[in-house]
Structure 1
Amino acid sequence: MSSLPVVGAAMTLDDVELHRDWLFEKSRDLELQSFVDAEVLNGDWAPLAERARRLLDGHTGRLGIHGPFWGFTIASEDPDIRAVVSRRLLQGLDVCAAVGATQMVVHSPYTSWSYNNLDNNDGAREDLVERVHLTLSDAVRRAEDIGCTMVFENIEDKDPHIRVALADSFNSPAVAVSIDTGHAHYAHGYTGAPPVDYYVKAAGNRLQHVHLQDADGYADRHWSLGEGSIHWHAVFAALAKLESNPRLIIEIKDKSKIRASAQYLASIGVAE
């Protein structure tokens, strides 16, 4: 019996149709990405949810969704915008309840600008955390009620510890941490952040989700694993020390290379 972690993938329902056998063969974790757009969430998404339940009947891997993120931050200074963001996240959690998802990815509010400026103005760090709490308070309660965890994914985060502290500030099982390897590699290569494995170490057992994508340290490439310059052995060595069993989700642009990405990880002896 292999002790290597089993990777899953992020995909739309159309992609699930194509990769269903691969998902089922090893009970791979799945992140559905068919519910991120406002047009979908504001419309009648019940048929999509029914399609998801039908396609995943018998699937025993863990299920999550990528939450909405286009066009907003969870730390807006504008209370009207915060209200819209709160509603959008609650819509995402309604989807989770409908399809049986136990995790929803939410984008971190931290930017490369904030890294340099949060200490430039007294109280700016605390103010940002307070705005996130104002935005997410209803969503956190809803997530707790349905047994779902929202995970904060690094986007521009240069400091790998800062969103871990943000997650901790909620003191809730419904809030945890995600890492996107390509985003971390971009921050490392372009803004001088630590390497990707340091992000894993910073998150520790608060880490419950990882987007696996390869990149060049310049842009958010979402290349197939092995096509970029991320040091995968270091990343998986850091992951192996955790007890939190994070979902390892291949998230690449070319979905036809999902299986090749998994095969690459198997070929270097770090996952299957």
Structure 2
Amino acid sequence: MSELPLLGAAMPVDVLETLQDFIVNEHRDLELQDFCVPGVLDDDWKPIADRAKELLSGYRGRLGIHGPFWGLHIASPDREIQKVVTRRMMQGLDVCEHLSATQMVIHSPYITWDYNNLDNAPGRQAYQAVLDHAHATLDEVVRRSEEIGVTMVVENIMDKDPDIRRTLVEDFNTSAMAVSIDTGHAHYACGSTGAPPVDYFVRRAGNSLQHIHLQDADGYADRHWNIGEGNISWHAVFRALGELTSQPRLILELRDKTGILPSVEWLRSCNLAR
């Protein structure tokens, strides 16, 4: 890249109140986190969304939300569970439409157990079953996403196989589905379950990658530390990102939101991002 990539961040609206200038002045990518909190979608969420719109007056960056995920499995074989997940995802899209957001993060259905057991059935039966259940849950949601111009990005959670979410996304054959990577989750999978390192996840996603959560970690747990506090090889990660043309949103997703600006400065000091 001739110019350092521009970092965005994930935060709730109350933090946007304090980081408005940081986001708006350079039109950085923003991911709002309020709407994945349990209970919020069942209450009147519009005042939260409307406050975000006020704070983002004049903003021309790429806006997204973290979609609902607590207790939700996007490839459950249970038809009643599928209905609940479909409804929750549609509620998330209601928020996106109200905000004119163009991306919604959803969680991968794959767990470490799958890596060791999906081949424990003849042919590709177990792999196909997951895809079939995902379609039963998300086909209606995908159609709505296409209509309102939202891309749902599927984030790795316990994925050991860096390819499997891309396979799921490609099976939907739509621009309304893409791949997301969480660097801390990938680093956990590498350190604790024997998955490839984070930069391999990036390369294997290729231009299907349209979103990345940047957080530092130690390979043991989902730390969401400030960048530079863990042991992820950030030079390798940004080297792999530099090979892409899909321009994924680079979203700092930190537990301590006061670490957003220091993390930007850390990456800037390494000549990796700004």
Q: TM-score, normalised by structure 2?
A: 0.98
Identity of aligned residues (%): 60
Shift of 1:25: 2.4
SS at match of 1:266: helix
Q: 2:162 aligns with which of 160, 164, 168?
A: 160
The equivalent residue for 2:130 is 128
**Match of 1:70, as an amino acid?**
W
Shift of 1:43: 1.4
CA RMSD of aligned residues (A): 1.0
The equivalent residue for 1:218 is 220
> 1:72-131: CA deviations, max 9, x gaps?
211111100010000000000000000110000000000000110111123111001100
Q: TM-score, normalised by structure 1?
A: 0.98
Do 1:38 and 1:88's aligned partners in 2 also have CA atoms closer than 8 Å? no
Shift of 1:52: 1.2
Shift of 1:59: 1.1
SS at match of 1:5: coil
SS at match of 1:229: coil
Distance of 1:25 and 1:267 partners within structure 2: 21
The equivalent residue for 1:256 is 258
Q: 2:209 aligns with which of 192, 207, 210?
A: 207
SS at match of 1:54: helix
Q: 1:271 aligns with which of 248, 270, 273?
A: 273
> 1:188-229: CA deviations, max 9, x gaps?
000000000000001100000000000000000000000000
Shift of 1:38: 3.7
Distance of 2:57 and 2:207 partners within structure 1: 30
Distance of 1:57 and 1:138 partners within structure 2: 32
Distance of 1:25 and 1:53 partners within structure 2: 15
The equivalent residue for 1:23 is 23
SS at match of 1:208: strand
SS at match of 1:241: coil
The equivalent residue for 1:119 is 119
Q: 2:229 aligns with which of 215, 223, 227?
A: 227
Q: 2:141 aligns with which of 130, 139, 142?
A: 139
The equivalent residue for 2:5 is 5
**Match of 1:161, as an amino acid?**
D
SS at match of 1:27: coil
Structure 1 runs, 4 residues or longer, greater than 4 Å off: none
Ranges in structure 1 where 5+ consecutive residues have no aligned partner? none
Q: Which has the larger displacement, 39-48 or 149-158?
A: 39-48
SS at match of 1:159: coil
Ranges in structure 2 where 5+ consecutive residues have no aligned partner? none
**Match of 1:69, as an amino acid?**
F
Shift of 1:138: 0.9
The equivalent residue for 1:190 is 192
Distance of 1:255 and 1:148 partners within structure 2: 26
Distance of 2:159 and 2:140 partners within structure 1: 25
Q: Which has the larger displacement, 37-46 or 195-204?
A: 37-46
The equivalent residue for 2:76 is 76
Do 1:140 and 1:174's aligned partners in 2 also have CA atoms closer than 8 Å? yes
Distance of 1:136 and 1:130 partners within structure 2: 10
**Match of 2:212, as an amino acid?**
V
